[in-house]
């Protein structure tokens, strides 16, 4: 592990996970979904099969990574929201126009 620590840059996420590793020795703590899951997984290193809190924390980071990979990129989320808004507005206007035409008849 010491060799890995020399090769891995000590980013804020890596240091955060190292501190969490100490807490995980005695209790479970959840993850923050804005964390960099890859860096946290690297900082966890090899896990003893008896460290149930560490295993649960690692599984949460793996699930978070899977969830994030299945979401569209933020730029697509924004364009989808704009498209949905434009469609809603167009449908509303079409409904209003239809109601006016029906009232005129």
Q: How far is CA 27 from the centre of its chain?
A: 23
SS (H, E, C) the chain: CHHHHHHCCCCHHHHHHHHHHHHCCCCCCCCCCCCCHHHHHHHHCCCCCCCHHHHHHHHHHHHHHHHHHHCCCHHHHHHHHHHHHHHHHHHHHHHHHHHHHHHHC
- The pLDDT value recorded for residue 79 is 60
- Comparing CA positions, the residue from 8, 70, 40, 42 lying closest to residue 29 is 40
* Structural domain containing residue 58: 2-104
pLDDT digits (tens, 9 = 90+) for 48-94: 889 999 999 999 999 999 999 998 766 665 566 677 777 667 666 66
CA distance 41 to 83: 37
Number of domains composing the chain:
1
Do the beta carbons of residue 51 and residue 44 sit within 8 Å? no
> pLDDT, tens digit, for every residue of 17-27?
999 999 999 99
How far apart are the C-alpha atoms of 60 and 26, rounded to whole Å?
Answer: 17
Question: Is the pTM for the entire model greater than 0.75?
Answer: no
């Amino acid at each position: 592990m010491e060799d890995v620590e020399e090769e891995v840059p000590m980013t804020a996420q890596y240091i955060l996970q190292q501190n969490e590793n100490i807490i995980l020795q005695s209790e479970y703590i959840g993850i923050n979904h804005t964390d960099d899951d890859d860096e946290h997984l690297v900082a966890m290193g090899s896990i003893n099969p008896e460290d149930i809190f560490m295993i649960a924390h690692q599984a949460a980071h793996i699930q978070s990574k899977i969830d994030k990979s299945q979401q569209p990129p933020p730029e697509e989320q924004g364009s989808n929201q704009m498209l949905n808004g434009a469609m809603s507005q167009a449908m509303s206007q079409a409904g209003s126009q239809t109601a006016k035409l029906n009232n005129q008849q």
